[in-house]
């Protein structure tokens, strides 16, 4: 009888321990989800690999269709640098030539990769990973890094 009660008690203890572990894992996962930053897309597997010219032309032809294909996707875009801009806060944007006078593909560097701009020059051929946000006068990628 006593032995039976002891094993029952041990079972409850085991169950409580399992619940405690699950709660801790849940809390840790929740905390991770809540505090995680934006992923560094450098080296990330791209959803789409495309040239700057093709990306810009698809957007110019039909912005809505292009948005359904590319919005929020990780894009690996290749092209020639036509301009490197720095804003007042020092954030660098790399413009890729799209064969048009109206616009190009503008890639805002991820803050973790902002220094990469210093190594780049107009005319360089580059491969850039970034997240597509749509089109204003240019197709705009953010969180970019040079691959």
Partner 1 sequence: MIRMKKIIAIVVIVMMSSSLTFAQKYFTKNGNVSFHSKTAMENIDAVNKKAVAVIDASTGAMEFAVLMKAFEFERALMQEHFNENYVESDTYPKGSFKGKITNSSSVNFTTDGSYPVTIAGKMSIHGVTNDVTAKGTIVVAGGKINAISEFTILLADYNIEIPSVVKDKIQKSIKIIVNVWLEPKS
Q: Using CB under 8 A as the criterion, which residues of the chain lie in contact with partner 1 when the complex forms?
A: 33-39, 67, 71-72, 85, 87-89, 91, 93, 106, 108, 131-138, 140, 142-143
- Do the beta carbons of residue 104 and residue 141 sit within 8 Å? no
Work out how close the CB of 43 gets to partner 1 at its nearest, in angstroms, rounded to a whole number. Answer: 17
* Shorter beta-carbon distance to partner 1: residue 4 or 64: 64
Q: What are the DSSP calls for 43-109, one per residue?
A: TPPPSEEEEHHHHHHHHHH-HHHHHHHHTT-EEEEEEEEEEEEE-TT--EEEEEP-S-SS--EEEEE
- Do the beta carbons of residue 98 and residue 52 sit within 8 Å? yes
The residues pairing with 94 across neighbouring beta strands, listed in sequence order, are 84, 107
Work out how close the CB of 106 gets to partner 1 at its nearest, in angstroms, rounded to a whole number. Answer: 7
Work out how close the CB of 16 gets to partner 1 at its nearest, in angstroms, rounded to a whole number. Answer: 29
* Shorter beta-carbon distance to partner 1: residue 57 or 133: 133
Work out how close the CB of 57 gets to partner 1 at its nearest, in angstroms, rounded to a whole number. Answer: 19
Distance separating alpha carbons of residues 128 and 43, to the nearest angstrom: 10
């Amino acid at each position: 009888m006593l032995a039976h009660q002891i094993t029952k008690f041990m079972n409850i203890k085991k169950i409580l321990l399992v619940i405690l572990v699950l709660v801790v894992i849940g809390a840790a996962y929740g905390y991770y989800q809540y505090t995680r930053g934006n992923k560094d897309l450098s080296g990330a597997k791209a959803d789409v690999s495309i040239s700057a010219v093709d990306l810009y032309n698809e957007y110019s032809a039909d912005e809505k269709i292009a948005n359904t294909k590319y919005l929020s996707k990780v894009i690996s875009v290749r092209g020639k640098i036509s301009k490197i801009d720095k804003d007042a806060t020092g954030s660098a944007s790399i413009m890729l030539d799209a064969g048009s006078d109206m616009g190009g593909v503008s890639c805002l560097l991820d803050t973790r990769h902002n220094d990469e701009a210093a190594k780049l020059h107009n005319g360089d051929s580059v491969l850039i990973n970034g997240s597509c946000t749509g089109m204003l006068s240019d197709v705009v990628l953010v969180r970019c890094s040079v691959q």
